[in-house]
Amino acid sequence: MVTEQTNDPLARFRAQDLDAAMADASRKQGVVTPMFDVIAPRYDAFTRLFSFGMDASWKADLIDAVVTHAPAAHRGMDVACGTGDLGFSLAARLPQLHLTGVDPSAEMLVIANQRTAAHGRGRVDFHLGEMASLPARDASVDVITAGYGFRNVPDLAAAVRECARVLRPGGTLGSLDFFLPQNAVWRAPFLWYLRLSGNLVGWWWHRTPAIYGYIARSIAAFVTAQEFTTLLQRNGFRVVQQRSMLLGGIGLHVAVRTETA
């Protein structure tokens, strides 16, 4: 019985102090990756439910913006790709593009690869990996997308620098993510709603409230959208578009790698 509990990813997740783990870069990935392995089969449904269906339009807006700035891209990466939503969408819009999706969750990639087979998209492939160590040579990628990815990395600045490393000068980075709202009056109810609704769905689907309540914790430990813009600018990017939704709780960024990155 003890062995079964130890080998149960949900049991290991319940046993952790999540707030402490989120604040510790050496432990964060060890929380995030097993969590996404557990929620992979219902991740897309949860995202739609959690955003009241707005997630689809946010992702469409990101793809529109990326295509506008990188219409001739031939080599792309979708980092923290999950089940491949952004990657498939971008490949559909840019028929000349070959895209590699990278994610640390093996279970997410199982679903992404199943979708690849179903869609018959020979130009999209997926690899297990982390944003701090991308499988690409320096200056070899034309475009990178990241959907809800930067918030989950242990070292945000390192992940931004790694994207700058693999992008060619003039290459485009497009990111959609949750952010800590700048307005403190809005911040408290925003995080309260995310924690409450995440806990409810986590209990309903997995009998583990924190598995989706984690989102509020990750946002509370994250940066504001403007702080992310500043970080991009300090690490080799020129931000060409920044848009906030939900009063700063969601942010869309499009940035171009400078010559000096």
Q: Kindly report the three-state secondary structure assignment for every residue of 114-130.
A: HHHHHHCCCCEEEEECE
244: pLDDT strictly greater than 70: yes
Whichever domain contains 93, its CATH number is: 3.40.50.150
Cβ-contact 252, 228 below 8 angstroms = no
Pairing label, strands 141-147, 124-128: unpaired
Model pTM greater than 0.85?
yes
State the total domains in the chain: 1
Residue 95 pLDDT: 92
Instruction: Measure the CA–CA gap between 178 and 151, rounded to whole angstroms.
Output: 7
What is the tens place of the pLDDT at every residue in 7-45? 666 666 666 676 676 667 777 777 788 888 888 888 888
Cβ-contact 206, 249 below 8 angstroms = no
Q: What is the rounded average pLDDT of the residues 89-102?
A: 95
Instruction: Measure the CA–CA gap between 157 and 231, rounded to whole angstroms.
Output: 7
Cβ-contact 157, 130 below 8 angstroms = no
Better-predicted residue by pLDDT, 139 or 50: 139
What is the extent of the structural domain holding 165? Answer: 2-257
